Amino acid sequence: MISLAALARRAAPVLACIGLLAMWQVASIVLKNDSFPTAIEAIRAIPDILGDRESLLNILASLRRMAIGFGVAVLVSIPLGLLMGRSRSVAAFFNPLLMVIYPVPKAALMPIIMLWLGVGDITKTLVIFLGVSLPVIYHSFEGAKAVEEKMLWSGAAMGLSTAQRLVRIVLPAALPEILTGCRTGLVLALITMITSEMIARQSGAGNILFNALDMGQYDTVFAMIIIVGAMGICLDAIFERIRARLVRWSEPQFDMPLSFS
């Protein structure tokens, strides 16, 4: 049996969504602005978008770029971050480089990348890659740096080489921190995905959104905002499930030591 408190906890996000939509509905009725459709109008436009083959392919193309950009970024950034965290010389080389890149909005680099690589998939995927890399590198770096020296010594005494210690001790020990970076990276992937399609309009979810804006189809614009938002919530929820499973051993619910010497 589910307790009342647990039920309330589960219902809370749903209630929050309904509340938000209700406020939206009331606000748009009160404001009576053409460019601000009601929530119901926007929701009604969703099936039209998702039912349209062309739009669906656009959205899938966006997701594909996002998946590739995110995946490659994670595969490159984790090893780099871990190496930086354990080697002072690697950190000394990459740190200034990354400090220069960090505050630059990745979308601002897009016109230049477009000049070099065109307006196709590569450019957009590269921008997503850049957006995801930095938080993942940063968190991997911090995670690797914080690994207890004595843990590495224990591994060394068992005969693990430096490379083995990096893969078999530093990586798992830093995993909670790495996954925090990946979670931030996932949200940034979604953001850079949309902004890249805003700048290089050719295909994708962002393209549908901004085309509709140009044509004054405001219900479609808001429907797309809902779709993108829902995608973000779903991706984050899926990622959170995977993360919780991978780092079960570090979760605070276990933080109740047994009383026995």
Partner 1 sequence: MKVVPSRSSEWVRPVTPQKPASAIIEIDRVSQVFQTSARKDHVALSDISLTIEEGAFVSILGPSGCGKSTLLYIVGGFVSPTSGAAKIKGQAITGPGPDRGPVFQEFALFPWKTVLGNVMYGPRQKGVRATEAEAQSRALIEMVGLKGYENFYPKELSGGMKQRVALARTLAYHPEVLLMDEPFGALDAHTRTRLQNDLLNIWERDRKTVLFVTHSVDEAVFLSDKVVMMSKSPGRIRDVIDIDLPRPRRRNELLLDPRYQKYVVNIERMFDESDEAGSPS
**What are the residues binding partner 1 (CB under 8 A)?**
148, 150-151, 153-154, 156-160, 169, 172-173, 175, 247-250, 254-261
Give whichever of 155 and 232 is closer to partner 1, judged by the CB atom.
Answer: 155
Structure token digits, residue 248: 């079960």
Q: Least distance to partner 1 from the beta carbon of 23, Å?
A: 42
Q: Least distance to partner 1 from the beta carbon of 164, Å?
A: 8
Give whichever of 158 and 237 is closer to partner 1, judged by the CB atom.
Answer: 158
Q: Least distance to partner 1 from the beta carbon of 6, Å?
A: 23
Kindly compute the dihedral angle of the four CA atoms of residues 13, 192, 247, 164, in this order, to the nearest 10 degrees.
Answer: 180
- How many other C-beta atoms are found inside a 10 Å radius of the C-beta of residue 249? 9
DSSP string, 73-134: HHHHHHHHHHHHHH-HHHHHHHHHHHHHHTTS-GGGGHHHHHHHH-SSHHHHHHHHHHHHHH
φ, ψ (nearest 5 deg) of residue 3: -70, 165
Give whichever of 80 and 152 is closer to partner 1, judged by the CB atom.
Answer: 152
Residues 6+ apart with CB under 8 A from 110: 123, 127, 195, 196, 199, 200
Q: Least distance to partner 1 from the beta carbon of 225, Å?
A: 40
Give whichever of 58 and 140 is closer to partner 1, judged by the CB atom.
Answer: 140
Q: Least distance to partner 1 from the beta carbon of 135, Å?
A: 22
Give whichever of 99 and 163 is closer to partner 1, judged by the CB atom.
Answer: 163
Q: Least distance to partner 1 from the beta carbon of 168, Å?
A: 9
Q: Least distance to partner 1 from the beta carbon of 173, Å?
A: 7
The C-alpha atoms of residue 164 and residue 162 are separated, in whole angstroms, by 5
Give whichever of 108 and 151 is closer to partner 1, judged by the CB atom.
Answer: 151
The C-alpha atoms of residue 41 and residue 29 are separated, in whole angstroms, by 11
- Tell me the residue type at 124: K
Q: Least distance to partner 1 from the beta carbon of 166, Å?
A: 14
The C-alpha atoms of residue 194 and residue 162 are separated, in whole angstroms, by 41
Q: Which of 111, 107, 81 is nearest to 95 (CA)?
A: 81
Give whichever of 187 and 247 is closer to partner 1, judged by the CB atom.
Answer: 247
DSSP string, 183-203: HHHHHHHHHHHHHHHHHS-SS
Which residue do the tokens 């770096």 mark? Answer: 141
Give whichever of 64 and 168 is closer to partner 1, judged by the CB atom.
Answer: 168
